[in-house]
Amino acid sequence: MKQHFLDDQNYESELITILKENNVKSILLVCGHSIEQLDLNQLLSDLPATLDIKITRFMDFEPNPRYESTVAGVHAFQENDCDFIIAVGGGSALDVAKCIKLFHTMDATTNYLEQEIIPNDTKLLAIPTTAGTGSESTKYSIIYVNGEKQTVNEQSSLPDYVLLHPVVLNSLSDYQKKATMMDTLCHAIESYWSVKSSVVSKKYAGIAISSAIQNAEAYLLNLEDGNRVMLDAANIAGQAINYTQTTAAHAMCYKITTLYGASHGHAAMLCLTKIWSYMLNHMDLCNDPRGSEYLFTTFQEIASFMGCDSSEQAIDKLEQMMEDYDLKNPQIQSMDEFYKLVKSVNVDRLQNHPVKLEEVDLIRIYNKIFGL
Protein backbone atom coordinates (compact mmCIF):
# COMPACT_ATOMS: atom_id res chain seq x y z
CA MET A 1 0.00 0.00 0.00
CA LYS A 2 1.44 3.36 -1.04
CA GLN A 3 1.20 6.22 1.45
CA HIS A 4 0.87 9.86 0.50
CA PHE A 5 2.98 12.26 2.57
CA LEU A 6 1.68 15.80 2.98
CA ASP A 7 4.11 18.68 2.52
CA ASP A 8 4.49 20.18 5.99
CA GLN A 9 4.84 23.66 4.46
CA ASN A 10 1.58 23.46 2.50
CA TYR A 11 -0.36 20.89 4.47
CA GLU A 12 -3.44 23.07 4.96
CA SER A 13 -4.21 23.30 1.26
CA GLU A 14 -3.26 19.64 0.71
CA LEU A 15 -5.60 18.54 3.50
CA ILE A 16 -8.48 20.51 2.02
CA THR A 17 -7.80 18.96 -1.39
CA ILE A 18 -7.72 15.43 0.06
CA LEU A 19 -11.03 15.92 1.88
CA LYS A 20 -12.67 17.29 -1.25
CA GLU A 21 -11.30 14.50 -3.47
CA ASN A 22 -12.69 11.89 -1.07
CA ASN A 23 -16.04 13.68 -0.79
CA VAL A 24 -15.71 13.57 3.00
CA LYS A 25 -18.83 14.42 4.99
CA SER A 26 -18.02 13.27 8.54
CA ILE A 27 -14.60 12.84 10.18
CA LEU A 28 -13.72 10.88 13.30
CA LEU A 29 -10.82 12.77 14.88
CA VAL A 30 -8.89 10.45 17.20
CA CYS A 31 -6.76 12.60 19.47
CA GLY A 32 -5.68 13.40 23.01
CA HIS A 33 -6.11 16.70 24.84
CA SER A 34 -2.58 17.69 23.76
CA ILE A 35 -4.05 18.63 20.37
CA GLU A 36 -5.37 21.80 22.03
CA GLN A 37 -1.78 23.08 22.22
CA LEU A 38 -1.24 22.76 18.46
CA ASP A 39 -1.98 25.30 15.70
CA LEU A 40 -3.35 22.32 13.78
CA ASN A 41 -6.27 22.26 16.21
CA GLN A 42 -7.70 25.49 14.81
CA LEU A 43 -7.56 24.21 11.23
CA LEU A 44 -9.46 21.08 12.20
CA SER A 45 -11.94 23.06 14.31
CA ASP A 46 -12.70 25.29 11.32
CA LEU A 47 -13.48 22.41 8.95
CA PRO A 48 -17.24 22.33 9.67
CA ALA A 49 -17.54 25.95 8.56
CA THR A 50 -14.92 25.76 5.79
CA LEU A 51 -16.13 22.62 4.04
CA ASP A 52 -19.41 21.76 5.79
CA ILE A 53 -17.77 18.65 7.25
CA LYS A 54 -18.87 17.19 10.59
CA ILE A 55 -16.06 16.58 13.11
CA THR A 56 -16.45 14.07 15.95
CA ARG A 57 -13.60 14.04 18.45
CA PHE A 58 -12.81 10.70 20.05
CA MET A 59 -10.56 10.97 23.10
CA ASP A 60 -11.79 8.03 25.18
CA PHE A 61 -8.54 6.06 25.27
CA GLU A 62 -5.46 5.89 27.44
CA PRO A 63 -1.71 5.29 27.03
CA ASN A 64 -1.33 1.56 26.31
CA PRO A 65 -4.92 1.60 24.99
CA ARG A 66 -7.35 -1.13 25.97
CA TYR A 67 -9.41 -3.18 23.54
CA GLU A 68 -12.53 -1.59 25.04
CA SER A 69 -11.29 1.81 23.87
CA THR A 70 -11.14 0.65 20.26
CA VAL A 71 -14.69 -0.69 20.59
CA ALA A 72 -15.85 2.69 21.90
CA GLY A 73 -14.10 4.30 18.94
CA VAL A 74 -15.93 2.04 16.51
CA HIS A 75 -19.24 3.04 18.13
CA ALA A 76 -18.35 6.73 17.77
CA PHE A 77 -17.43 6.20 14.11
CA GLN A 78 -20.68 4.40 13.33
CA GLU A 79 -23.04 6.58 15.39
CA ASN A 80 -21.80 9.72 13.66
CA ASP A 81 -21.86 8.24 10.14
CA CYS A 82 -18.13 8.93 9.75
CA ASP A 83 -16.45 8.28 6.41
CA PHE A 84 -12.87 9.43 7.15
CA ILE A 85 -10.47 9.17 10.11
CA ILE A 86 -7.80 11.62 11.24
CA ALA A 87 -5.45 10.57 14.04
CA VAL A 88 -3.38 13.18 15.88
CA GLY A 89 -1.08 12.04 18.67
CA GLY A 90 1.51 9.52 19.72
CA GLY A 91 1.49 5.78 19.22
CA SER A 92 -1.63 5.21 21.32
CA ALA A 93 -3.81 7.58 19.27
CA LEU A 94 -2.49 6.21 15.99
CA ASP A 95 -2.90 2.57 17.05
CA VAL A 96 -6.49 3.18 18.22
CA ALA A 97 -7.31 4.91 14.94
CA LYS A 98 -5.81 2.07 12.91
CA CYS A 99 -7.92 -0.46 14.82
CA ILE A 100 -11.08 1.63 14.35
CA LYS A 101 -10.36 1.69 10.61
CA LEU A 102 -10.06 -2.11 10.58
CA PHE A 103 -12.92 -2.97 12.93
CA HIS A 104 -15.75 -0.64 11.93
CA THR A 105 -16.96 -2.89 9.08
CA MET A 106 -16.77 -6.09 11.14
CA ASP A 107 -19.37 -7.98 13.18
CA ALA A 108 -19.93 -6.01 16.40
CA THR A 109 -21.48 -9.03 18.16
CA THR A 110 -18.19 -10.94 18.13
CA ASN A 111 -14.79 -9.97 19.52
CA TYR A 112 -13.03 -8.16 16.69
CA LEU A 113 -9.71 -9.80 17.57
CA GLU A 114 -11.25 -13.22 16.89
CA GLN A 115 -12.49 -12.35 13.40
CA GLU A 116 -10.83 -12.40 10.02
CA ILE A 117 -9.97 -8.86 8.98
CA ILE A 118 -11.33 -7.84 5.60
CA PRO A 119 -9.78 -4.63 4.21
CA ASN A 120 -12.11 -1.67 3.65
CA ASP A 121 -11.90 1.62 1.77
CA THR A 122 -12.09 4.02 4.72
CA LYS A 123 -9.21 6.48 4.52
CA LEU A 124 -6.97 7.36 7.45
CA LEU A 125 -4.73 10.42 7.84
CA ALA A 126 -2.06 10.09 10.56
CA ILE A 127 -0.35 13.08 12.16
CA PRO A 128 2.21 11.83 14.71
CA THR A 129 3.00 14.27 17.51
CA THR A 130 6.01 12.34 18.81
CA ALA A 131 9.16 11.26 17.03
CA GLY A 132 9.37 7.69 18.21
CA THR A 133 6.68 5.11 17.59
CA GLY A 134 6.68 5.11 13.78
CA SER A 135 3.10 3.81 14.02
CA GLU A 136 2.16 5.92 11.01
CA SER A 137 4.34 3.67 8.84
CA THR A 138 3.64 0.20 10.21
CA LYS A 139 0.94 -2.44 9.86
CA TYR A 140 1.11 -3.14 13.63
CA SER A 141 -1.18 -1.79 16.33
CA ILE A 142 -0.70 -2.49 20.03
CA ILE A 143 -3.75 -2.76 22.29
CA TYR A 144 -4.23 -4.41 25.68
CA VAL A 145 -6.69 -7.11 26.68
CA ASN A 146 -6.99 -7.70 30.44
CA GLY A 147 -3.62 -6.01 30.88
CA GLU A 148 -1.86 -8.19 28.31
CA LYS A 149 -0.41 -6.84 25.09
CA GLN A 150 -2.04 -7.87 21.84
CA THR A 151 -0.59 -7.04 18.43
CA VAL A 152 -2.96 -6.44 15.53
CA ASN A 153 -1.03 -7.21 12.34
CA GLU A 154 -2.78 -6.02 9.18
CA GLN A 155 -1.25 -4.34 6.15
CA SER A 156 -4.47 -2.51 5.30
CA SER A 157 -4.26 -0.58 8.60
CA LEU A 158 -1.42 1.52 7.19
CA PRO A 159 -2.54 5.17 7.04
CA ASP A 160 -3.30 6.42 3.54
CA TYR A 161 -1.95 9.89 4.29
CA VAL A 162 0.78 11.05 6.67
CA LEU A 163 1.75 14.52 7.84
CA LEU A 164 5.18 14.86 9.46
CA HIS A 165 5.04 18.39 10.87
CA PRO A 166 8.02 19.37 13.10
CA VAL A 167 6.07 22.10 14.89
CA VAL A 168 3.95 19.50 16.70
CA LEU A 169 7.00 18.39 18.71
CA ASN A 170 7.38 21.79 20.37
CA SER A 171 4.85 20.97 23.07
CA LEU A 172 6.51 17.74 24.21
CA SER A 173 8.13 17.54 27.63
CA ASP A 174 11.86 16.84 27.86
CA TYR A 175 11.09 13.35 29.14
CA GLN A 176 8.77 12.59 26.22
CA LYS A 177 11.34 13.81 23.70
CA LYS A 178 14.12 11.72 25.22
CA ALA A 179 12.03 8.58 25.62
CA THR A 180 10.54 8.69 22.13
CA MET A 181 13.98 9.23 20.59
CA MET A 182 15.09 6.07 22.40
CA ASP A 183 12.10 4.27 20.87
CA THR A 184 13.26 5.35 17.41
CA LEU A 185 16.74 3.99 18.10
CA CYS A 186 15.38 0.72 19.49
CA HIS A 187 13.14 0.20 16.46
CA ALA A 188 16.01 0.80 14.06
CA ILE A 189 18.60 -1.27 15.93
CA GLU A 190 16.24 -4.21 16.51
CA SER A 191 15.15 -4.16 12.89
CA TYR A 192 18.76 -4.12 11.72
CA TRP A 193 19.72 -7.23 13.70
CA SER A 194 16.40 -9.07 13.22
CA VAL A 195 16.49 -12.53 11.66
CA LYS A 196 13.91 -11.18 9.19
CA SER A 197 16.13 -8.29 8.05
CA SER A 198 16.77 -7.75 4.35
CA VAL A 199 18.86 -5.41 2.24
CA VAL A 200 15.91 -2.99 2.06
CA SER A 201 15.00 -3.06 5.76
CA LYS A 202 18.66 -2.66 6.77
CA LYS A 203 18.99 0.35 4.50
CA TYR A 204 16.04 2.02 6.25
CA ALA A 205 17.25 1.03 9.72
CA GLY A 206 20.80 2.25 9.09
CA ILE A 207 19.56 5.66 7.94
CA ALA A 208 17.34 5.95 11.01
CA ILE A 209 20.15 5.07 13.44
CA SER A 210 22.58 7.57 11.90
CA SER A 211 19.99 10.34 11.67
CA ALA A 212 18.81 9.93 15.26
CA ILE A 213 22.32 9.88 16.71
CA GLN A 214 23.63 12.78 14.62
CA ASN A 215 20.63 15.02 15.30
CA ALA A 216 19.96 14.19 18.95
CA GLU A 217 21.32 17.49 20.26
CA ALA A 218 19.39 19.68 17.80
CA TYR A 219 16.23 17.69 18.49
CA LEU A 220 16.53 18.01 22.27
CA LEU A 221 17.17 21.75 21.85
CA ASN A 222 13.82 21.85 20.02
CA LEU A 223 15.34 23.27 16.85
CA GLU A 224 13.06 22.95 13.84
CA ASP A 225 15.62 21.12 11.69
CA GLY A 226 16.35 18.71 14.55
CA ASN A 227 12.65 18.03 15.02
CA ARG A 228 12.15 17.48 11.29
CA VAL A 229 15.05 15.02 11.04
CA MET A 230 13.91 13.08 14.13
CA LEU A 231 10.36 12.78 12.76
CA ASP A 232 11.83 11.42 9.53
CA ALA A 233 14.08 9.02 11.47
CA ALA A 234 11.13 7.69 13.48
CA ASN A 235 9.11 7.23 10.30
CA ILE A 236 11.95 5.44 8.50
CA ALA A 237 12.58 3.21 11.52
CA GLY A 238 8.87 2.36 11.42
CA GLN A 239 9.21 1.39 7.77
CA ALA A 240 12.09 -0.90 8.75
CA ILE A 241 10.12 -2.72 11.46
CA ASN A 242 7.20 -3.01 9.09
CA TYR A 243 9.44 -5.49 7.27
CA THR A 244 11.04 -7.20 10.26
CA GLN A 245 9.01 -6.62 13.45
CA THR A 246 10.81 -5.84 16.69
CA THR A 247 12.82 -8.33 18.73
CA ALA A 248 13.45 -9.18 22.39
CA ALA A 249 13.99 -5.64 23.69
CA HIS A 250 10.42 -4.71 22.83
CA ALA A 251 9.04 -8.03 24.03
CA MET A 252 10.73 -7.52 27.40
CA CYS A 253 9.81 -3.85 27.85
CA TYR A 254 6.01 -3.88 27.74
CA LYS A 255 5.50 -5.14 31.29
CA ILE A 256 8.04 -2.61 32.57
CA THR A 257 5.80 0.09 31.13
CA THR A 258 2.59 -1.27 32.63
CA LEU A 259 4.10 -2.07 36.06
CA TYR A 260 6.19 1.07 36.58
CA GLY A 261 4.79 3.69 34.23
CA ALA A 262 8.06 4.18 32.38
CA SER A 263 7.50 5.47 28.86
CA HIS A 264 7.70 2.81 26.16
CA GLY A 265 10.95 4.04 24.58
CA HIS A 266 12.56 4.46 28.00
CA ALA A 267 11.70 0.88 28.93
CA ALA A 268 12.76 -0.51 25.55
CA MET A 269 16.25 1.01 25.74
CA LEU A 270 16.72 -0.25 29.31
CA CYS A 271 16.28 -3.73 27.84
CA LEU A 272 18.15 -3.26 24.57
CA THR A 273 21.58 -2.42 25.98
CA LYS A 274 21.57 -5.43 28.33
CA ILE A 275 20.28 -7.73 25.59
CA TRP A 276 23.02 -6.57 23.20
CA SER A 277 25.69 -7.25 25.86
CA TYR A 278 24.16 -10.67 26.52
CA MET A 279 24.18 -11.56 22.83
CA LEU A 280 27.85 -10.63 22.46
CA ASN A 281 28.65 -13.21 25.13
CA HIS A 282 26.42 -15.90 23.60
CA MET A 283 27.20 -15.81 19.90
CA ASP A 284 27.27 -19.61 19.94
CA LEU A 285 23.47 -19.45 20.29
CA CYS A 286 23.04 -17.50 17.05
CA ASN A 287 19.48 -17.90 15.79
CA ASP A 288 20.08 -16.34 12.37
CA PRO A 289 20.53 -18.84 9.50
CA ARG A 290 23.12 -16.47 8.02
CA GLY A 291 25.44 -17.47 10.86
CA SER A 292 27.34 -16.00 13.80
CA GLU A 293 29.98 -14.29 11.63
CA TYR A 294 27.20 -12.48 9.77
CA LEU A 295 25.63 -11.49 13.10
CA PHE A 296 28.95 -10.19 14.45
CA THR A 297 29.34 -8.06 11.31
CA THR A 298 25.77 -6.83 11.75
CA PHE A 299 26.57 -5.66 15.27
CA GLN A 300 29.69 -3.89 14.00
CA GLU A 301 27.66 -2.13 11.32
CA ILE A 302 25.16 -0.88 13.89
CA ALA A 303 28.04 0.46 15.96
CA SER A 304 29.47 2.27 12.94
CA PHE A 305 26.11 3.96 12.27
CA MET A 306 26.38 5.26 15.82
CA GLY A 307 29.90 6.59 15.23
CA CYS A 308 31.52 3.84 17.31
CA ASP A 309 34.33 1.39 16.58
CA SER A 310 32.82 -1.64 18.31
CA SER A 311 29.61 -3.05 19.75
CA GLU A 312 30.98 -2.52 23.24
CA GLN A 313 31.53 1.18 22.54
CA ALA A 314 28.04 1.47 21.05
CA ILE A 315 26.47 -0.11 24.14
CA ASP A 316 28.47 2.25 26.37
CA LYS A 317 27.30 5.19 24.26
CA LEU A 318 23.65 4.23 24.60
CA GLU A 319 23.99 3.70 28.35
CA GLN A 320 25.75 7.05 28.71
CA MET A 321 22.90 8.71 26.82
CA MET A 322 20.42 7.11 29.21
CA GLU A 323 22.43 8.40 32.18
CA ASP A 324 22.82 11.89 30.71
CA TYR A 325 19.07 12.04 30.01
CA ASP A 326 18.23 10.82 33.52
CA LEU A 327 16.32 7.81 32.16
CA LYS A 328 16.71 5.61 35.21
CA ASN A 329 15.83 2.01 35.98
CA PRO A 330 12.62 1.49 37.97
CA GLN A 331 13.02 -0.24 41.33
CA ILE A 332 11.57 -3.73 41.66
CA GLN A 333 9.58 -4.05 44.88
CA SER A 334 9.26 -7.83 45.11
CA MET A 335 10.23 -11.12 43.50
CA ASP A 336 6.59 -11.46 42.51
CA GLU A 337 7.02 -8.39 40.32
CA PHE A 338 10.25 -9.81 38.92
CA TYR A 339 8.58 -13.03 37.82
CA LYS A 340 5.66 -11.12 36.35
CA LEU A 341 8.22 -9.50 34.07
CA VAL A 342 9.76 -12.84 33.12
CA LYS A 343 6.41 -14.54 32.52
CA SER A 344 5.16 -11.64 30.40
CA VAL A 345 7.54 -12.61 27.59
CA ASN A 346 6.47 -15.45 25.30
CA VAL A 347 9.80 -17.02 24.29
CA ASP A 348 8.09 -18.89 21.46
CA ARG A 349 7.45 -15.51 19.82
CA LEU A 350 11.12 -14.54 19.78
CA GLN A 351 11.94 -16.44 16.61
CA ASN A 352 13.08 -13.26 14.88
CA HIS A 353 15.57 -12.43 17.65
CA PRO A 354 19.12 -13.17 16.43
CA VAL A 355 20.27 -15.12 19.51
CA LYS A 356 18.16 -17.89 21.00
CA LEU A 357 16.63 -16.95 24.35
CA GLU A 358 15.03 -19.25 26.89
CA GLU A 359 13.29 -18.27 30.12
CA VAL A 360 16.51 -18.68 32.09
CA ASP A 361 18.16 -16.17 29.76
CA LEU A 362 15.35 -13.68 30.37
CA ILE A 363 15.92 -14.07 34.11
CA ARG A 364 19.61 -13.28 33.67
CA ILE A 365 18.91 -10.27 31.45
CA TYR A 366 16.25 -8.82 33.76
CA ASN A 367 18.73 -9.28 36.61
CA LYS A 368 21.20 -7.12 34.69
CA ILE A 369 18.57 -4.52 33.83
CA PHE A 370 17.54 -4.04 37.45
CA GLY A 371 20.96 -4.57 39.01
CA LEU A 372 19.85 -7.52 41.10
What was the pLDDT predicted at 63? 87
pLDDT average, residue stretch 148-177: 93
CB neighbour burial string for 88-110, b if at least 16 within 10 angstroms, e if fewer: bbbbbbbbbbbbbbbbbebeeee
Angle at 59 between CA 58 and CA 64, to 5 degrees: 125
- Which residues share a beta bridge with 145? 148
The pLDDT of residue 22 is above 80: yes
* CA-closest candidate to residue 27, choices 79, 72, 86, 103: 86
Contact 299, 280 (CB under 8 A): yes
* CA-closest candidate to residue 268, choices 358, 149, 157: 149
State the average pLDDT for the chain.
Answer: 95
Q: Among 3.40.80.10, 3.40.50.1970, 2.40.10.10, 3.30.310.50, what is the CATH number of 4-168?
A: 3.40.50.1970
* CA-closest candidate to residue 266, choices 343, 141, 181, 171: 181
What was the pLDDT predicted at 147? 83
Q: Report the alpha-carbon distance of residue 139 to residue 51 in Å, rounded.
A: 31
User: What CATH number was assigned to the domain covering residues 173-370?
Assistant: 1.20.1090.10
What was the pLDDT predicted at 171? 86
* CA-closest candidate to residue 235, choices 312, 163, 155, 309: 163
pLDDT average, residue stretch 126-143: 93
pLDDT band for 347, please (50, 70, 90 cuts).
confident
What was the pLDDT predicted at 207? 98
Residue 41, phi then psi, degrees to nearest 5: -60, -40
What was the pLDDT predicted at 309? 98
* CA-closest candidate to residue 126, choices 112, 141, 148: 141
What was the pLDDT predicted at 1? 60
* CA-closest candidate to residue 160, choices 84, 80, 244, 234: 84
pLDDT average, residue stretch 240-244: 96
Angstrom CA distances, 50 to 16, 21, 43, 330, 350, stand at 9, 15, 9, 49, 50
Q: What residue ranges do the domains of the chain occupy? A: 4-168, 173-370
The pLDDT of residue 85 is above 90: yes
- Which residues share a beta bridge with 143? 150
Which tens digits make up the pLDDT trace of 254-282?
A: 999 989 999 999 999 999 999 999 999 99
The pLDDT of residue 8 is above 70: yes
Contact 100, 125 (CB under 8 A): no
What was the pLDDT predicted at 341? 95
